[in-house]
Amino acid sequence: MSRPSVYLDHAATTPLSPVALEAMTEELAQVGNASSLHASGRRARRVVEESRERIAAALGCRPSEVVLTSGGTEADNLALKGGHAARRSADPSRRRLLVSSVEHHAVLDPAEHLAATGEADLGLLPVDHDGRLDLEALRAELGRGGVSLLSLMWANNEVGTLQPVAEAAALCAEHGVPVHSDAVQALSTQPVDFAASGLDALTVSAHKVGGPIGVGALVARRDLALTPLVHGGGQERDVRSGTLPTPLVAAFAAALEQAVAERETTAARLLGLSTRLVAGLRAAVPDAVLNGPALSATPDAAGRLPGIVHVSFPGCQGDSLLMLLDAAGVECSTGSACSAGVPQPSHVLLAMGRDEAEAKSSLRFSLGRGTTEADVDAAVDAIGPAVERARLASGRGTLRRGAPAQGSTQGSIQDPADRPSDRRAG
């Protein structure tokens, strides 16, 4: 018997918006390779270039700076591997690659790969208790010289912390160091303006803003040298070969345009829902801990994404809570990624100073365009019984006499933090 689910995992992926679906469906019925010279090819090319212009307008950049990719992971890899290789080729002394210690794995893994293969010396920059970059540590690292590139995400995918991207870019500019930022999570609620940011490269992805999975972009200044990762037809400025997926590109443009147009309204609505959710979770589980910056009255003063609520539940395993909530019809994310089936503590929470137990006890609830007050209330109703059962399973709780198995808002918990998102799912 099927049941409706409450979807609170928008940081992993968002539902396809109607405007994106319409744009994609229209193009799926057409034929033509955008690199072909005949009429069908020229028509496809026109759709791609008009979409590129719309994407550029939404991001505050030039159309020629938009390099279309298969998504955020490819764009991050192109920025790090391609940017570092080009920089080192021009100046072999530039061996040092800097990234924050709370980056998504789409940034951390290519950076660690470059270090493991001896192509780079990797520097992980520390963050504070809320997950915000330590700018003084960055200043000190830049002062040592030999830096090829800094990668600093716009907003953290697990706890929602906004990073001081503009300040970091200004510091790096003093040392002639290019800066890349993964802005995948920021697009729906933050004013992402490439030209105003001082950045040299920026990663975006369609499926985080109501677009389809399988398309994204690396926005890169024309004078930023990038060594290609893929060779072939020479598409996208000769740095990203491959046949362009016209239907996906058209849908990406439509979704992004809508997301930017609705950004302020969306941010305010999500902040209200998040505030309601946090209050409800704390009422159901009084010792629950909100990770990252505190919620504020307005989105622009929060220092965090308004739609991400990352909460630690003392005495629980995040994996157990996830499955209990899923059984109750509430879909969210846990903070523990799995490697070979073995849960690992969140590297984000560990970098924020949490211990390993805290870093395994959390859930991420991420809200989006379709989230309603009823969805939030359903999550609150389910969390108390789920926490009580999870604590009982871990040997750290007792089931109260007469306590309902499901559907009650009464419960107890005990522990902080963990990280939500699997490798690129967050």
Side chain identity, residue 102: V
CB burial readout 161-192, b (16+ within 10 A) else e: bbbbbeebbebbeeeebbbbbbbbbbbbbbeb
Q: What is the pLDDT of residue 397?
A: 60
- 339: its two tokens: 């490697």
Q: What is the mean pLDDT of residues 248-277?
A: 97
What residues pair up with 263 in beta bridges, in sequence order? none
Question: Does 300 score more than 90 pLDDT?
Answer: no
- Residue whose C-alpha is closest to residue 351's, from 164, 128, 159: 128
Q: Are 331 and 360 in contact (CB under 8 A)?
A: no
Query: Does the pLDDT of residue 424 top 90, yes or no?
Result: no
CATH number of 263-393: 3.90.1150.10
**Which range (56-70, 88-102, 391-405) has the least confidence?**
391-405
Cα dihedral 274, 276, 279, 285, rounded to 10, equals -80
Q: Does domain 18-260 have CATH number 1.10.1740.10?
A: no
* Predicted local distance difference test score (pLDDT) of residue 335: 58
pLDDT band at 393 (very low <50, low <70, confident <90, very high): confident
Token pair of 177 as six digits = 């160091």
CA–CA separation, 264 and 68 (whole Å)? 26
Q: What is the DSSP letter of 295?
A: P
Query: Catalytic annotation on 332?
Result: no
Q: How far apart are the first and last CA of the chain?
A: 30
- The tokens for 107 are 């940034």
* CA atoms within 13 Å, Cβ hemisphere of 174: 11
What's the mean pLDDT when you consider all of the chain?
90
pLDDT band at 139 (very low <50, low <70, confident <90, very high): very high
| Among 369, 379, 159, CA closest to 267 | 369
| Catalytic residue (choose from 61, 316, 332, 338) | 338
Q: Is the per-residue pLDDT at 340 higher than 90?
A: no
DSSP 38: S
pLDDT of 422 reads 41
Encode pLDDT of 163-183 as tens digits. Answer: 999 999 999 999 999 999 999
| 229 vs 218: CA distance, rounded Å | 13
- Helix ranges (H only) for 83-161 are 83-90, 105-116, 135-143
CA dihedral 298, 288, 361, 377 (to 10 degrees): -70
Q: What is the pairing mode between strands 6-7 and 330-331?
A: parallel
Residues of the chain with CATH 3.40.640.10: 18-260
Where does 296-391 show beta strands of DSSP type E?
308-312, 330-331, 333-334, 337-339, 342-344, 362-366
d(CA 176, CA 195): 17
Q: In whole angstroms, what is the distance from residue 290 CA to residue 313 CA?
A: 9
Angle in degrees, CA 277, 283, 287, rounded to 5? 100
pLDDT in tens, 120-134: 999 999 999 999 999
Looking at residue 347, its amino acid is H
In DSSP terms, 155 is beta-bridged to: 162
Confidence tier at 296 by pLDDT (50, 70, 90): confident
> Mean pLDDT throughout 7-16?
96
CB 215 within 8 A of CB 174: no
CATH 3.90.1150.10: which residues of the chain? Answer: 263-393
